Amino acid sequence: MEGRPISGGAADERRGADRRVAHRGRTGPWALLLGAALVLVTACSGADSSDGGKDGGGAKRPPAPKAVVTISPKDGADSVDTTGDLRVSASGGKLTGVTVEDAKGHPVEGTVADDGRSWRPEGHLASATTYTVRASAKNAEGARTTGKSTFKTLRPKNTFVGIFTPEDGSEVGVGMPFSLHFTRGITHPEDVARSIRITTEPSVPVKGHWFGNDRLDFRPEHYWKPGTKVTAALDLDGVEGRPGVYGTQAKSVTFTIGRAQVSTVDAEKHMMTVERDGKVVRKVPITAGGTGHTTYNGQMVISEKYRVTRMNGETVGFGGEYDIKDVPHAMRLSTSGTFIHGNYWSGGAFGNYNASHGCVGLRDVKGAWDKKQPAAWFYDHSLIGDVVIVKNSPDKQIQPDNGLNGWNMSWADWTK
């Protein structure tokens, strides 16, 4: 029996059992891993469907980028143009504040665009002036960013000024415009006009009108009301009036309108009627321009007063026809030489006939010493800015730019 191989029956059963045991030993751990993997996949699939795509692990999103503030000119810039170079902008956010000041703390007004991404000054900068810009912006999450720049504007080589009338602090008549004569021809009239601001008390609309390229006058539609206070603010420093030519004035001029005096000269009747505040105060015999030298018609404003002055015909195109060295009580009505003045040499012309070279003459004495003379009375009771109206002369109407006589232009034409 010994040494015989076991066969059939029990031996086969033992070998089958051994094979089954060995099979279970090889595959049992893999089955556990596979089960765990199935559980994990099931769990992950459940998280995706229930969180709607959110991070299952709770990771934080990165912060939004900060807003970037850009200021032009850059810090330390020199010889900056007074117009157009100053700009502030923000990217990745919106501006929350912009301040611009000169070294004395005077602010430069400006406006932030509706989208909050840019700022521009409302006007020009002054020349040869140091400015500091401070700006801030916030991004979408409220994080704040700031910027700063200090720069200096150019010092112009070529400049202009406006010679103005009336003088600061003066009392003038109801016809007085605020008139500026510029020392250089202006080719940027809008920029210059925008830099002159007229305010009045009580308030009344005032408009400017250019005569040529070197004169700008301001007036209301009708004569000023007595008592009106007029202020002209000249913000011309740094304004480029023509290429490479800049204004230098930063000045305020205030004048007051006195009583309303309007005098009407009837050249045909040789008589002047003086009205003050709507009432006739005196009628004065006159002599107007004679044949060949007639007086302009129209509304004229007294622009200058001289107790005694010289009048030479050569200065107004009359050659050597006259040269009177001591004309008394003279008041200018036009640039071309029309005056209303005292006359001691025309004898019986006053109230009777016209004998002058275009001026309006009133009886007077040589030396202007007699206060009782009509010319002396009119001189003493007149203001620069009073209106003298000439009518019924055979001459044409005076041009609006010949003297301070823009009242001879309609309001529609004045405001074009």
Clarify whether 359 is annotated catalytic: yes
What sign does the dihedral 216-218-219-220 (CA atoms) show? positive
Which CATH superfamily, name and number, covers 261-409?
Answer: L,D-transpeptidase catalytic domain-like (2.40.440.10)
The rounded distance, in Å, linking the Cα atoms of 366 and 308 is 10
- Among 270, 329, 357, 359, which one carries the catalytic annotation? 359
Q: pLDDT tens digits for 338-390? A: 999 999 999 999 999 999 999 999 999 999 999 999 999 999 999 999 999 99
Asked whether the predicted pLDDT for residue 328 surpasses 50, the reply is yes
Extract the tokens encoding 162: 């406006």
Q: pLDDT tens digits for 179-202? A: 999 999 999 999 999 999 999 999
Question: Shortest CA distance to 363 belongs to which of 338, 388, 342?
Answer: 342
Asked whether the predicted pLDDT for residue 94 surpasses 60, the reply is yes
The architecture in CATH of the region 158-257 reads Sandwich (2.60)
> 122 vs 29, which has greater pLDDT?
122
Identical fold, 68-152 and 261-409? no
| pTM, full prediction | 0.81
The rounded distance, in Å, linking the Cα atoms of 124 and 151 is 15
- Among 222, 341, 357, 381, which one carries the catalytic annotation? 341
Domain 68-152: top CATH class: mainly beta
Extract the tokens encoding 99: 């301040």
The rounded distance, in Å, linking the Cα atoms of 321 and 169 is 40
The rounded distance, in Å, linking the Cα atoms of 302 and 387 is 6
Asked whether the predicted pLDDT for residue 153 surpasses 70, the reply is yes
Domain boundaries, the chain: 68-152, 158-257, 261-409
